[in-house]
Chains A and B, each alone.
Chain A
Amino acid sequence: MKSKHYYAILNIEPQASSLEVLHAYRDMKQLYQPDSLAVYSLYEDDEVAILLAQVEEAYLVLSDADKRPLYDIEHGFVSSPQRNDEADYMVQPPPVREESVKIIRHHGAKPLRNIDVPDVVNGAVLKNIREMQGIGLSDIAYNTKISMEYLQAIEANDVAHFPAAVYMKSYLKQYAESIGMNSQLVLDRYEALHSS
């Protein structure tokens, strides 16, 4: 039911910034206080308690920079780079190219596997696609045994950080696979590998 979505529960748009989420949470909590006039005669006390619990649940997810993108993907909402006010984010995701955003939205609520590879790939694009799926860098480090330092270098387009290009290519391949992308295409299109 659409009214059960967290955004509807907090009475905000899916594009709401994190500050707007916070304000909405405070307002909705106020609305469902036991002495609130606005709910008087519409709901019984036990119903108001349920509504209040829903508000808490929604806020717990939507205020969490990791959980919210995951929730968005699962429910087919717009991804975070489109939010009203990126500046509100404590950790601001890097700007992402149009293409990759489109891909993410295109896949909607389904789990993101076999993601189309954009014509141009760079660290920011990869990071965004990774975050959209709620995959942490440490998850990749754990699965691939690649150190965090090198994973961060991939996302920072920092080719010079690797002892040799062959290492970078090998790590990049594994990185790409662990976020559901065709590794050969990523290798071919990763800008920093071809620019110098």
Chain B
Amino acid sequence: MNILICVKQVPDTTEIKVDPVTNTLMRAGVPSIVNPFDACALETAARIKDETPDTKIVIVSMGPEQAKVALTECLAVGADRAYLISGRGFGGSDTLATSYILSCAVRKLEELEGKFDIIFCGKQAIDGDTAQVGPELAEHLGLAQVTCALEAKTNGNTVQVRRKTERGSEILGVEMPCLITMTKTAYEPRYASSRKKREVAKQEIPTLDENSFEIDLTRAGLKGSPTKVKKTFTIPQNSTGVIFHEATERQSTISLFELLVKGNILQLGVRYGNE
């Protein structure tokens, strides 16, 4: 089995705060992490490898040199090889351009590593938050896709994927090769042992740039992106609410209740009248 995982290095957005004065994101000191959903994809692939030891896991990430830190982390928890895609013409790509660049890189990687049976992506990256790169990459490569997967197991030539739906979940069977995007799994990603961390610290991570593979550069980067971010802003959060903090919960509750009834917010009469 030959598995490719697309990994994005992202700022830990749960640590990001908005500066209350300037209303801008305070990014300084926010740690960079492997996108959590991509970590779920890696864990799912590692579980396939536990079952089928003859499995190779390859990681690819597009980003700056610094993204190699994320790639090394993936190697430490069980990936076999990692590649960084980095090029001056790639910056500012929207999802169509990003997925296009990745698709060109995947074709090159298949020359180097062999055809991939499964390509995993995270359901979404916690910074861009679009959840579009996975399906767009599948379309560029002409692969069947399953999004929002909770679990994936191989069975002969097919993968059985449990996928989250609005009503619960469904199990789909899909033939390989295919592309699967993982949402948060019930199982936690495994940790790297310190021995493994030391071992992979020295592993080489090749960088592929615009000259390493065939690509139409007019379809990459800012210029090749159909969507344009015109402006970004934050929504100031000023508390204007009426908050009760009286001596006892009972007193606070009575005060609140009176206000809600007076303001006709709690329309108990309406409900009562309907019964």
* Chains A and B form a bound pair: no
